[in-house]
Chain A
Amino acid sequence: MRQKGLYYMLMMLSALLAVLAVGPGWYGGDFQGGFNFQHQLFDLLCHQNPDRSFQLQGVQMAVCSRCLGIYLSFFLGVLLMAPLSIFSKKFKTFVKPAFFTILILNFLDVISNEAGIWTNSLFSRFWLGALVGLGAALLLSNEFFSTNSKSENNYGE
């Protein structure tokens, strides 16, 4: 494993985002008219539209379903980076184009839904978002778990 410090930081930050994104519902907290800490934290990052967000124990989550998919799957992807790196190594040339394809798919989903071409749902947005998070983790996995390249710490030795 390389860049241990950065990997653990990434794991902690993605865990924090995943927990906060779920909102105050999981511990029985109140929505507080959207003034709770979690909703304030994601205010600049997500539209937090009630119609496009999941609820937990009757409380709206702090982010929309697509963003929830991104945060949860990225955290899961960071946890599973070791096995993901095997896949990433095997399909090295496809990982970056696949990530961009996923981003374009999400963009097309937003555009086509707004244009009335097709109607997406809470779950379709969640799963498309989840692909972004997993794709990002897959993209980064060989930076931390690749075994056939020199460690950055030993670079030049």
Chain B
Amino acid sequence: MENDQLNGATPSYWNSVLIAGIITAIVYSALGILSSYMMLKSSSASQALGIFVCLISSMAGVIANRHYAKEFDISYSLGKGALIGFLAAIVAVIVGTVISLIWTTVIDPGLNDAVYQAQISAMEAQGMSQEQIDMALSFSPEPGSTTAVLMGVGIGILGLGIVNVISGIISAKIFASEE
């Protein structure tokens, strides 16, 4: 392994990280927004869509590593694959948050409130009492608030970060191993 280092200069992986992060962010943001509209229409297609997007956010690490390995035709360590996956996840979360913010503040400012109301209706439909609903909502910051955005970014980086470290390691093994 580590052909890149043996040849002297190590090519930068940032291009691959940015490409993978942006692609993943666009895909999961688009599907997320689409899913929100479907949920508001109580469409069963929303659930079907969700089933297809399961684990799609772990693709950031896969795309970044595949692009980096194929672009420069190199092999490198699993650790580097993990780092590339993690960085791609951070880019995906930040770009995804920006896309969501633009959508919910400029394009459709009413979407957050509508989704919030739909969630309350869903809890009522599950038979939760008003007290339980108030308790549940107290754990969630107001949609669109700075706290909600920062919490979303923090939790997103943690969740996507861990999963993409692992998908990065697996991808480095598949695409960048000398075997």
Contact = CB atoms under 8 A, between A and B. Distances in A.
A26 B165 CA distance: 26
Contacts of A30: 135
Contact of B166 (A10, A114, A143): A10
A93 B165 CA distance: 25
Contact of B79 (A3, A41, A114, A136): A3
A5 B93 CA distance: 27
Given A14-B166, A33-B136, A44-B57, A110 B51 contact: yes
A41 B158 CA distance: 7
Interface residues of A, number: 44
Given A3-B79, A136-B170, A35 B139 contact: yes
A150 B12 CA distance: 26
A66 B54 contact: yes
Given A49-B47, A74-B166, A140 B78 contact: yes
A1 B169 CA distance: 17
Given A13-B166, A110-B52, A3 B78 contact: yes
Contact of A35 (B53, B78, B137, B158): B137
Nearest to B82: A6
B82 A33 contact: no
Contacts of A66: 54
B1 A152 contact: yes
Interface in B130-158: 132-133, 135-137, 139-140, 151, 155-156, 158
A33 to B, nearest CB: 3
A133 B129 CA distance: 39
Given A40-B155, A44-B156, A67-B55, A155 B162 contact: no
Given A64-B54, A66-B54, 12 more contacts: A3-B78, A6-B79, A17-B162, A33-B133, A33-B136, A33-B137, A35-B139, A46-B54, A136-B166, A140-B169, A143-B173, A155-B2
Interface of B: 1-2, 6, 28, 47-48, 50-55, 57-58, 77-79, 82, 93, 96, 119, 123, 128, 132-133, 135-137, 139-140, 151, 155-156, 158-160, 162-163, 165-166, 169-170, 173-174, 177
14 contacts: A10-B166, A10-B169, A16-B162, A32-B139, A35-B139, A41-B158, A44-B93, A52-B51, A67-B54, A67-B55, A74-B166, A139-B174, A143-B78, A152-B1
